[in-house]
A = this chain, B = another copy of it.
């Protein structure tokens, strides 16, 4: 039986996890024969003979059957994937930013060179969501996908709600425990889950949705009064990514949401992720698991290697008619400092309003495009309330001094 030769790029968290799961498995006949890394003179948990320090000596090795690309740099990752495809060599990658921003071109190149790429590890770590979207749910009429796609922010929010600590302390704890980068911008501002949503939505709806078409904001500006409001109302705040289809239009959003205990997202803690699928046939389906980590993501990468060795790329179903992206009217809670009280005027309808000495809030219907504008202002925060069971919110007594 032929033993397939793998060229690996990167030996960080996921690279090591993949290496370990591959080596301890007995069913996939493949081995890593070269690993390209940047830094010399580092002690690594693999035979020193495997390591090389220039990418081309791996890319140009004709003995290698497929590449596994697990480096951080999206530009370099893109160049590796494109060179590999041009040589007719399949690639497994987990670089969500690179994939989301270049998906259209990458689909074309796969067709041109009749060579597949796969990237389960790029979306929700250990959860086999792309694989299932691509096969099991291929015949399902998916109406919406909602979920928690980012482990770092979910870890931070869990700490805030379960241990009653501040955003700053929770972020620090996440960084100390390896659940957040030293520069956490991509996570806490909601860019990382946007890349994942872009990839998922493109696979589901058969049209490439570029991340620039998705509105996102994060959890980095949320204030103590916002967390207190949630707690008083028996709600949690979760950073939700979602896409919904209605009347042949798509709604896409990454934003903090209030969720009640009746919502499955409420119970997903720490670095775990969840994907909920609403389908015309199956109703609600849930997949949940670790959204990051060395071995969990390594397993996802390994499962792609298995599929590649069976010659299995993604199906990329193609919608005949492009669906426009909607400027939704959403229900949101918006809190703001007193100098921003013009915010109230932007609501199309108001169900609850509070004016205090230090801050105010309004709950009501507002256009998503207007939310996108005001959320950029300092000390304006918005949390989506619609699409969840929010029965408790309106039971709060409203103090309206205005």
Stretch at the interface among A67-75, A225-233, A281-289, A357-365: A281-289
B303/A139 in contact, CB under 8 A = yes
A24 to chain B: closest residue by CB: B141
Q: Nearest Cβ in chain B — how far from A297, in angstroms? A: 9
Closest Cβ–Cβ distance, residue A163 to chain B (whole Å): 16
How far, in whole Å, are A131 and B303 apart by their CA atoms in the complex? 13
List B contacts of A24 (CB < 8 A).
Answer: 141
Say whether A326 faces chain B, with CB atoms less than 8 Å apart: no
Q: Give per-residue flags for A253-279: 1 if the beta carbon is below 8 A from chain B beta carbons, else 0.
A: 000000000001001000010000001
B126 and A27 contacting across the interface, CB-CB below 8 Å: no
Give residues 1-59 of A contacting B (CB, 8 Å). 17, 21, 24-25, 27-28
Contact indicator A136/B303 (Cβ below 8 Å): yes
A66 to chain B, nearest CB (A): 16
Chain A, 312-328, contact with B by CB distance < 8 Å: what is the 0/1 string?
00000100000000000
A147 proximal to B (CB < 8 A): no
A302 CB within 8 Å of chain B: yes
Q: A27-B139, A267-B267, A317-B27 are in contact. Are A289 and B282 (CB under 8 A)?
A: yes
Cα A285 to Cα B282 in complex, Å, equals: 20
In the complex this chain forms, how many copies of it are found? Answer: 2
A235 at the interface (CB under 8 A from B): no
A264 to B303, CA, bound (A): 26
With A27-B317, A132-B132, A287-B287 given, is the CB distance from A138 to B306 under 8 Å? yes
Q: Mark A231-246, 1 if CB is under 8 A from B, else 0.
A: 0000000000000000
- Cβ-neighbour of A283 out of B126, B136, B279 (below 8 A): B126
The binding surface of chain A is classed by DSSP as: mixed
Bound CA span A284–B267, Å: 14
Q: A185 an interface residue at 8 Å Cβ cutoff?
A: no
A116 within 8 A of B: no
Contacts of A289 in B (CB 8 A): 282-286
**B residues near A90, Cβ cutoff 8 Å:** none
A127 within 8 A of B: yes
Give the most central of A139, A284, A290, A307: most B CB within 10 Å: A139
A139 & B282 in contact (Cβ 8 Å cutoff): no
> With A136-B303, A140-B299, A281-B295 given, can you name 20 additional A-B contacts, CB distance below 8 Å?
A21-B139, A24-B141, A25-B139, A27-B138, A27-B139, A28-B139, A126-B281, A126-B285, A128-B136, A131-B136, A132-B132, A138-B306, A139-B306, A267-B267, A281-B296, A282-B295, A283-B296, A285-B287, A286-B288, A287-B288
Cross-chain pairs A/B with CB under 8 angstroms, 10 sampled: A21-B139, A24-B141, A28-B139, A131-B136, A140-B299, A267-B267, A281-B299, A284-B289, A284-B290, A287-B288
Which residues of A line the B interface, CB within 8 A? Answer: 17, 21, 24-25, 27-28, 126-128, 131-132, 135-136, 138-141, 264, 267, 272, 279-290, 293, 295-296, 298-299, 302-303, 306-307, 317
